[in-house]
Chains A and B, each alone.
Chain A
Amino acid sequence: MTREVYIMPKFDFIPSVLVLRIVVILLVLVGNAAAVHAEVSIDITRGTVEALPLAVTDFHGIVAPEQEVGRNIAAVVSANLERSGLFSPLDKRAFIQTAASLRVRPRFSDWRVINAQALVQGNVKLQQDGQLRVEFRLWDVFSEAQMRGRAFVTVSENWRRVAHMISDEIYKRVTGESGYFNTRIVFIAESGPTRRRIKRLAIMDQDGANHQYLTDGSNLVLTPRFSPTLQEITYLSYFNDEPRVYLFDIESGRQELLGGFLGMTFAPRFTSDGKSVLMSYAKNGNSDVWRMDLSTRKATQLTKHAAIDTSPSASPDGAEIAFNSDRGGTPQLYVMDGNGANVRRISFGRGRYSTPVWSHRGDLIAFTKQASGKFHIGVMRPDGSGERILTESFLDEAPTWAPNGRVLMFFRQTPTDSKGKGGTSRLFSIDLTGHNLREVITPGDASDPAWSPLIP
């Protein structure tokens, strides 16, 4: 408006053609101003929860070995993203543009046609020094802009890890939360007949690849837990027929008895700083929660109660500890301060609650619940509110959180029939929404999974 006032008088004296032009310009200005006023506003208050359709193309390579790695990486990335339930990778056969021409630039119309909303492309190059160089780009097909681009250099056997890192990059860029693909799982691999069951500590990538046994099965091993440093595992093993908590170094394979307790120690779990281990110690038939400082090896008693206190799990900041106790008559979940003070019960639902596990992002505690003859995996807030049951089966147990706090893994047993058949034990994952239940493929029966932090 102010412009009008200034301009008009200025050109009053100019020949009519010019005046006309000015008037037109003014009218356009006015028109624009009016257009601004004429905006309509629409509130969108609900959407759908659908997986994002994306195209993961084979990474481009020039020579055959590069092309093979390129195909393999694309397959791993695609499978990872698909398993998350948040992405739906499109069938490669529908792709119009080739990997080679993608290097020039994506033809976005070709990708819109097949309803891809995001596009993943990449290049693989085996360098002269033997190193593998993998580069990827993530494109937003609708806005035709690159969302993420990154290159990785590593030894060529490491391509799988690169694929996991690329998956994490994509997941993080699209969802805003860090991923969980470049992680490993330790679990108890079970084999043999029920009476002489062999239980071995095993480790594998989050997608089931690179499976290997860490122990030979001569000693019974249970409830492994990852240290936040990724270097160590703490678990329960038997020594002189008594359960004891051990530390195990993944790299060296060295096992160490933790603490000189006179009696059973069990249910160990690292605190989130990795500096101490919380566990249960049964002294004179009474179990309480203890903390063992790993640098000083000094043990501190945190609960003192005649009831069974077990399964401690610290909050990410270490300020609080959730645990399981039957001090109220049935096993329920409790939270106390990091020093054992201020104990309060948080579970009040019908049934028996056990194995509380604090999420890495601190907002939820996962647990096992037994009610009406069924087992469930559920979550609740640390104050006990917002309880949600995610699974139900004959036997679901031992939840463990993905590092991003959005996915849980647990093991599920099926009942044996009258002929002794069935009775399998397998690992499953479920996402926080309660959808997307997936079996995590293991070579045989498996139980007690523990999810590692993200590998840096």
Chain B
Amino acid sequence: MKITSGLSAFLHVVIILIAWLGVPSARPMLAPVASIEVEIVSDVIAKKLPPKPAPPKPAKRLPPPPLSSEVVKALEPVIESMKEDKAVAIPDVKALEPNPKPKQVVKKKKLEPPRKPRPRPKVKPKPKPKKIVRKPPKKPKKNKPKPLPKDEFASVLKTVEKLNPRPVPPKLEKKVEEVQPFEKIARVLNRKPTARLRKVGEVSFSELDLARRQIEQCWSLPAGARDAENIIVVIRAVVNPDGRVRTAKIVDSGRLAQDPFYRSMAESARRAVLNPRCQPLRLPLEKYSEWRVTVFRFNPKEMF
């Protein structure tokens, strides 16, 4: 005990001395700044949120709960714990998720019930608005009458048409045809053996050109970036039938962590594909099955 307390006292003195001697040399302009990574918790947030089909809507309805002091309290510990206690933070974040089904956090159950009923109704409506465009095709499956879906579709197309002039009538018919599930399957089956041969003929280069120009307008790459002309970024996008991009993924994501220049350019490319300003993509609507998955290869070689 004596040794340890003596040692402790000695160390305290040393620390005080260091602190004392250290102060005079510290100038305000260059005073030390401790910097701490706070990435981990948010990574958890980030990982969870992307899968949600429509985050905007839950978010819009979320604000009411934050107003209550309890929710704010629940959040604060998360932020506090970000730096010191990564492990603790994770469950807290989970608790904040709109669909909190976790059995854990017994104490918080009192808080959660009021939330649970809200998020659930929210969650269901979410996917709907996004899929509105897709639903017209689905509805016809259930409700056989074709005229109705036709009308709905027509209205969608008109709005699209206003934005981007395209030939409408042929698409309408083809779309409705595609809606037939078995026909679609049959088509796919029929196409398969000759897929490659047909593909070239089905979506022509000139048809892709419009979409290419659209994305080019939205691709803003960092000025003066080093070696940008030697980097190729491939983005794989899943596109909705109305030409709006549903998801866009950087194909070579392994390189993101290693190469900051690649990451910078890859992210600028992904922003271009996701930018609502350059959507819907002007692709031939009747050939949706061909461009449902569109691969964009970004390389700014023409800019250098």
A and B: partners? Answer: yes
Q: Are A44 and B297 in contact (CB under 8 A)?
A: yes
- Tell me whether B60 is interfacial, beta carbon within 8 Å: yes
Distance, CA A109 to CA B277, complexed state (A):
13
Q: Are A42 and B225 in contact (CB under 8 A)?
A: no
Identify B294's interface contact among A31, A40, A52, A109, CB under 8 A.
Answer: A40
- Tell me whether A433 is interfacial, beta carbon within 8 Å: yes
- Tell me whether B189 is interfacial, beta carbon within 8 Å: yes
Chain A contacts for B285, CB-based, 8 A? none
Q: Are B35 and A143 in contact (CB under 8 A)?
A: no
Known: A105-B62, A151-B38, A176-B260. A44 touches B219 (CB 8 A): yes
Chain B contacts for A42, CB-based, 8 A? 208, 211-212, 215, 294-297
Identify A109's interface contact among B59, B184, B203, B300, CB under 8 A.
Answer: B59
Q: Are B212 and A49 in contact (CB under 8 A)?
A: no
Known: A37-B199, A42-B297, A135-B79. A47 touches B272 (CB 8 A): yes
- Tell me whether B77 is interfacial, beta carbon within 8 Å: no
Distance, CA A177 to CA B30, complexed state (A):
23
Q: Are A146 and B42 in contact (CB under 8 A)?
A: yes
- Tell me whether B66 is interfacial, beta carbon within 8 Å: yes
Identify A107's interface contact among B30, B59, B71, CB under 8 A.
Answer: B59
Identify B38's interface contact among A101, A137, A158, CB under 8 A.
Answer: A137
* Nearest chain A CB to B95 CB, angstrom units: 12
Q: Are A153 and B222 in contact (CB under 8 A)?
A: no
Which residues from 44 to 101 on chain B have a C-beta closer than 8 Å to any C-beta of chain A?
45-46, 49-50, 55-57, 59-60, 62-63, 66, 71-72, 75, 79, 82-83, 96
Q: Are A49 and B223 in contact (CB under 8 A)?
A: yes
Q: Are A176 and B208 in contact (CB under 8 A)?
A: no
Determine the interface band of chain B, counting residues with CB < 8 A from chain A.
Answer: 35 or more
Identify A103's interface contact among B75, B192, B222, CB under 8 A.
Answer: B75
* Nearest chain A CB to B140 CB, angstrom units: 18
Distance, CA A41 to CA B289, complexed state (A):
14
* Nearest chain B CB to A58 CB, angstrom units: 17
Distance, CA A363 to CA B227, complexed state (A):
11
Chain A contacts for B32, CB-based, 8 A? 154
How many contacting A-B pairs (Cβ < 8 A)?
Answer: 248
Residue picked from B191, B222, B271, B298, most chain A C-beta under 10 Å: B222
- Tell me whether A19 is interfacial, beta carbon within 8 Å: no
Chain A contacts for B37, CB-based, 8 A? 149-150
Q: Are B36 and A38 in contact (CB under 8 A)?
A: no
- Tell me whether A117 is interfacial, beta carbon within 8 Å: yes
Q: Are A40 and B226 in contact (CB under 8 A)?
A: no
Identify B216's interface contact among A44, A51, A145, A158, CB under 8 A.
Answer: A44
- Tell me whether A2 is interfacial, beta carbon within 8 Å: no
- Tell me whether B150 is interfacial, beta carbon within 8 Å: no
- Tell me whether A244 is interfacial, beta carbon within 8 Å: no
Given A149-B82, A150-B36; 6 other pairs, CB 8 A cutoff: A30-B188, A44-B215, A49-B223, A154-B34, A176-B262, A177-B260
Which positions in A face B, CB cutoff 8 Å? Answer: 27, 30-31, 33-52, 85-86, 100-101, 103-110, 112, 115, 117, 123, 135, 137, 140, 142-155, 157-158, 161-162, 165, 172, 174-177, 210, 230, 251, 361, 363, 406, 431-433, 435, 455
17 A-B pairs whose Cβ atoms sit less than 8 Å apart in the complex: A36-B293, A37-B196, A41-B295, A42-B294, A44-B216, A46-B300, A47-B268, A50-B220, A104-B96, A105-B59, A110-B59, A140-B267, A143-B50, A144-B50, A145-B50, A174-B222, A455-B30
